[in-house]
Chain A
Amino acid sequence: MTGIPTGRLAVWWVLASEIVIFGGLLGAYIMHRIGHPEWEGQAIHTNVWAGGFNTFVLLSSSLSAVLAHQAAERGDGKSAARLLLLTAAGGATFLIVKAFEWTAEITSGFTIGSNLFWSFYYTAAGLHALHVLAGMVILLFVAATAAKNIELHRVENIGIYWHFVDIVWIFLFPLLYIAK
């Protein structure tokens, strides 16, 4: 009836709700940031290079995800699986960098309770990291089935989700790292 396969339709509905979740959080952050110019003194402590590197990692993992989709379209499940594993490796790299970054920040005394800027910082980046982790689990599951050349339509579905996670980070990066 919708003209869209059920699995992909479900992904779009999930993303519609995710827009409201992340949009609400980021909207609240933006209005507080504008109302509190003193947050600049806190934002200056975030690591632009770590954030920039992670942006590069997620953009690259989005490339491997879309190439996996392309391979699945050709019916090449093995290539799709390899590219999905590469995408998951990108997610793992992202989380490892994040772990080092957070360790440095927390040991420097910037915790989630330090003030509202850091509360937003850890909540937004943490919620995003949870989405990366969830995406990685699904990527590994879909890669396992794609390697056997079954259910290849799933490759596109997890790809759409992964690109969304990428888009969320594309907005988090300037908000948390660039705006000083």
Chain B
Amino acid sequence: MTEHVQRNYVKIWAMLCALLVVSILGPLIGIRMLTVITAFGVAIVKAFLVAKHFMHLDIEKRWVAYVLLAMIGFIVVMFAGIAPDVMKHDGLRWENTAAKEAVRSGGGAVAGGHR
């Protein structure tokens, strides 16, 4: 087992709860950038705290963290490859008419629709 260092788990849990309050209250202020920082920035900090202190990744064999980070790297590659096609609705020789129509009408987006 990996439990070799003394940690105050209740204190870490209290920090996580405080961060949860920040992520809920942040968007109430109504500034979009602040919402992004408080909601997603706080999520990254919370995930880091759980991984480090509760999953004990800091005292686990180093290669485990590298394997997990490699998986996140695969996701980044997938995102970079697909996102331009999904996030943009037209290009030099193509147009996603269904997505444009969904945005225009304010209704639900539908898959496909390229031409």
Contacts and interface: CB of A to CB of B under 8 A. Distances in A.
Interface of A: 2-4, 8, 12, 15-17, 19-20, 23-24, 27-28, 30-32, 34-39, 41-42, 48, 52, 55-56, 59-60, 62-63, 65-67, 69-70, 72-73, 114-117, 153, 156, 159-160, 163-164, 166-167, 170-171, 173-174, 178-180
Contacts, number: 147
Nearest to A160: B55
A117 B74 CA distance: 24
B43 A12 contact: no
A116 B74 CA distance: 24
Contact of B46 (A20, A30, A70, A170): A170
A116 B78 contact: no
Contact of A115 (B16, B82, B109): B109
Given A48-B24, A115-B107, A35 B99 contact: yes
Contact of B78 (A24, A34, A180): A24
A153 B9 CA distance: 19
Interface string B11-29: 0010011001001101100
9 contacts: A19-B68, A20-B71, A28-B82, A31-B83, A59-B46, A60-B13, A116-B108, A116-B111, A164-B55
Interface in B92-110: 99, 102-103, 105-110
A16 B1 contact: no
Contact of A23 (B2, B43, B71, B83): B71
Contacts of B67: 12, 16
A32 B1 contact: no
Given A19-B68, A31-B82, A52-B20, 8 more contacts: A4-B60, A4-B64, A16-B68, A35-B89, A37-B103, A42-B108, A63-B10, A65-B54
Contacts of B61: 2-4
A23 B72 contact: yes
